[in-house]
Amino acid sequence: MDRTNKLKLDKTEEFFEEAKTLIPGGVLGIRRPYNFVVGEFPIFFEEGKGSHVFDVDGNEYIDYLCAYGPTIIGNREEEIDNAVIKQIQDKGFCFSLTQRYQNELAKKMNEHIPCAEMSLFVSTGSDATTCAIRLARSYTGKNKVLRCGYHGWHDWCVEVKGGVPEKLYEDVQGFPYNDLSILESMLKGNTNDTAAVIITPLGHPLADEITEPDEGYLQGVKDLTAQYGAVLIFDEIRTGFRVSMGGAQKYYGVTPDLAVFGKAMANGYPIGAVTGNAEIMKEGEKNVFISSTFFPNSLSYVAALKTIEILERDNILGQIWEKGQWFIDQVQNLIEKYKNGAKISGIPPMMFITFDKDPEKVYKNRRTDFYTQLIRRGIFLQPFHHGYICARHSQEDLLRTVEAIEESFQFLIEKYGEF
């Protein structure tokens, strides 16, 4: 049975053993080895350029995880980095008062995002979702929150409940994507005490295939929230400035009351945003306290402004959609050729290769072997998280990746037979 050799990962293992004596778990959260394939994937990256990344052992990969989404253009984009460097050298970035760049960025939000009337800027996606929930609760005077999707690591929504008192999340309930009847019954059952419904407009559940909204679903969610007096929040941390310049709300034609953005809007610089209806946003003037030493730091504002400028000027998202559609089509052809239970889901800017479940759970072994074969061939995709296309993915990158996927599918057929 033909297979590539295991990667040389001596330095990454050495650094990880040291890290475990210094950092809880060695590295945090979703970057821990068990979220990949233990012993096959690197743990420490050394550098990146364009669509490629390099680990501490010198192995090179075509990167489709894109830092879990922020890298919309590419690594070490000189035009963006130079704008940030110029800000550091010419003006500075950490002051007691705010710099004017917040106004410029808020205007850009208003220009592109359908729901945007006012905005506030924070440092992470979890900051943004938490701010949006606080604004909604203050505006409505209600407590309960209905959620669908991943909304961060803060107490109200974190999936792992260790260290979080139940009273901090007892008013938060999850609901399934693409099922209006369940959402309606939950709204009815909350005795008119639902402050907000927060949902990822594109369904991207943890470790499962990406799901687009059924026809009329998002409009149905909007109608129900209006009927029951709840604030509708779209979590666009992943879809914002990637699905379209106006996010998934622009692409699917449904405008929420509030939306949260982050990741791609600054090509890797740390930023999050809450934007939406001015009346709701104005709860942040007096009734809701939102403040941080680092929220006004201007480097991420400058990076976001330059990133958006490049997205506008160079039709970056058009390029990504074209490349992504070609990639999905090629992979789908291979799936039909090699019947091994694989499935590709999603939309061109973000896609996921998963495996159909079977009673004996052999799909888990297929998944492990598939992603092992890919990483050994220099393709960095994650077995439990969808991938992304960035602007710097070249046609050569895509061709090489499709070739690696075909070789990996062939390996599965030889080992397991058809599914």
**Do 196 and 333 fall into the same domain?**
no
What's the rounded mean pLDDT across residues 92-116?
98
* Partners of 413 in the β-ladder: none
**Do 283 and 373 fall into the same domain?**
no
Query: Is 2 within a domain?
Result: no
Comparing 3 with 157, the larger pLDDT belongs to 157
CATH number of the domain where residue 260 is located: 3.40.640.10
Considering only CA atoms, give the Rg of the chain: 22
What's the rounded mean pLDDT across residues 163-183?
98
**Mean pLDDT computed over every residue of the chain:** 97
User: What would the DSSP string read from start to end of 264-282?
Assistant: GGGTTS--EEEEE-HHHHG
**Do 326 and 304 fall into the same domain?**
no
What's the rounded mean pLDDT across residues 102-121?
98
Check: pTM over 0.85? Answer yes or no: yes
From residue 36, alpha-carbon distances to 65, 138, 201, 245, 279 in Å are: 12, 40, 26, 31, 44
pLDDT value at 1 more than 90: no
Q: What is the pLDDT of residue 206?
A: 86
Among 313, 345, 378, the domain-final residue is 313
pLDDT value at 412 more than 90: yes
What's the rounded mean pLDDT across residues 372-380?
98
Query: Is 205 within a domain?
Result: yes
CA triple 149-32-6, angle to 5 deg: 120
Neighbours of 30 (CB within 10 A): 13
pLDDT value at 212 more than 90: yes
Query: Is 387 within a domain?
Result: yes
From residue 156, alpha-carbon distances to 87, 129, 199, 222, 272 in Å are: 36, 10, 15, 22, 18
Query: Is 1 within a domain?
Result: no
Range 290-293 contact pairs with CB under 8 angstroms and sequence separation of 24 or more: 290/120, 290/122, 290/131, 290/134, 292/122, 292/123, 292/127
Q: What is the pLDDT of residue 291?
A: 96
Amino acid at 397: D
29 vs 4: CA distance, rounded Å: 29
What's the rounded mean pLDDT across residues 286-311?
97
**Do 30 and 147 fall into the same domain?**
no
Alpha helices by DSSP H, 200-240: 217-227
Query: Is 395 within a domain?
Result: yes
User: What letter does residue 98 receive in the DSSP assignment?
Assistant: -
Q: For the chain, what percentages of helix, strand and coil (3-state, to nearest 5) are there? A: 40, 15, 40
Residue 356 contacts residue 343 (beta carbons within 8 Å): yes
**Do 323 and 298 fall into the same domain?**
no
What's the rounded mean pLDDT across residues 276-292?
97
3-state SS, residue 334: helix
Residue 300 contacts residue 269 (beta carbons within 8 Å): yes
- pLDDT tens for 55-65 read 999 999 999 99
**Do 293 and 332 fall into the same domain?**
no
- pLDDT tens for 31-52 read 999 999 999 999 999 999 999 9
pLDDT value at 373 more than 80: yes
Query: Is 3 within a domain?
Result: no
**Do 166 and 239 fall into the same domain?**
yes
User: What would the DSSP string read from start to end of 2-65?
Assistant: --PPPPP-HHHHHHHHHHTTTSTTSS-GGGSGGGS-TTTS-S-EEEEEBTEEEETT--EEEESS
Range 161-169 contact pairs with CB under 8 angstroms and sequence separation of 24 or more: none
- Residues of the chain with pLDDT > 90, as a percent, come to 98
Among 313, 337, 372, the domain-final residue is 313
From residue 145, alpha-carbon distances to 178, 205, 233, 328 in Å are: 18, 18, 10, 36
- pLDDT confidence tier of residue 2, bands split at 50, 70 and 90: low
CA dihedral 82→95→122→117, nearest 10 degrees, is -90
Among 313, 347, 372, the domain-final residue is 313
CA nearest neighbour of 306 among 92, 101, 66, 75: 101
Q: What is the pLDDT of residue 406?
A: 98
**Do 176 and 322 fall into the same domain?**
no
Q: What is the pLDDT of residue 3?
A: 65
User: At a CB cut-off of 8 Å and minimum separation 6, what does 160 contact?
Assistant: none
What's the rounded mean pLDDT across residues 272-280?
98
Query: Is 60 within a domain?
Result: yes
Sheet containing strand 52-55, strands side by side = 45-49, 52-55, 60-63, 379-380
Domain that holds residue 45: 10-75+316-416
- pLDDT confidence tier of residue 163, bands split at 50, 70 and 90: very high
Q: What is the pLDDT of residue 223?
A: 98
User: At a CB cut-off of 8 Å and minimum separation 6, what does 412 contact?
Assistant: 338, 340, 342, 366, 369, 370
CATH number of the domain where residue 403 is located: 3.90.1150.10
> How many distinct structural domains can be found in the chain?
2
Query: Is 128 within a domain?
Result: yes
What's the rounded mean pLDDT across residues 174-195?
97
**Do 309 and 190 fall into the same domain?**
yes
Residue 115 contacts residue 236 (beta carbons within 8 Å): no
From residue 47, alpha-carbon distances to 206, 272, 281, 380 in Å are: 27, 24, 39, 14
What's the rounded mean pLDDT across residues 370-380?
98
Q: What is the pLDDT of residue 245?
A: 98
150 vs 159: CA distance, rounded Å: 8
**Do 201 and 161 fall into the same domain?**
yes
CA dihedral 235→174→217→116, nearest 10 degrees, is -20
Residue 218 contacts residue 232 (beta carbons within 8 Å): no
What's the rounded mean pLDDT across residues 193-206?
97
Token code pair at residue 308: 């958006």
**Do 100 and 205 fall into the same domain?**
yes
Residue 379 contacts residue 63 (beta carbons within 8 Å): no
**Do 333 and 366 fall into the same domain?**
yes
